[in-house]
Amino acid sequence: MRLTFVTVDVFTDRQFGGNPLAVVIDADGLSSRQMQVIAAEFNLAETTFVLPPQDAAHTAQVRIFTPRAEMPFAGHPNVGTATGAANVALIGLLAQLRPEPDLQLAKKIAQGVDMGRPSLLEARAEKTAGVVTATYIGGTCVPVMRGVLDLA
């Protein structure tokens, strides 16, 4: 079995910045055990595996593994694979705490600076009639390498 993978640096506009992530494309047919072994081999904070969607309303299913265990959800792997981050809750809270009944709030959030891998997230919230109606999180993602996994 041959599987294509890419590694990307998430929440940055330059290679070797941000958070590194491995993405295994078309991982259908891999067992959970195989995914775990592959994630351990990459030895990055997270490795994602892109699978066909379980629900027709979605475009894909993404499973996230650390070198030691599967995770139910994590922000940077979802953005690096396609969307999402924990900071989306922060922007929603900040918008809710503001006194204006109608508001569009946008913030840039820096993280990883002290680690030498600076990341920049862009967060946005919309508030209408005193209620936060939408939150968004995003950032850029830079490809670093591409390859093929040859599995016996």
Query: Could you count the other beta carbons within 10 Å of the beta carbon of residue 92?
Result: 21
Dig out the tokens for 70 from the structure: 């599967």
**Count of residues for the chain?**
152
d(CA 14, CA 134): 29
Is residue 126 flagged as an active site residue?
no
Q: Which of 41, 46, 122, 126 is catalytic?
A: 46
Query: Could you count the other beta carbons within 10 Å of the beta carbon of residue 6?
Result: 17
- The residues carrying an active-site annotation are 46
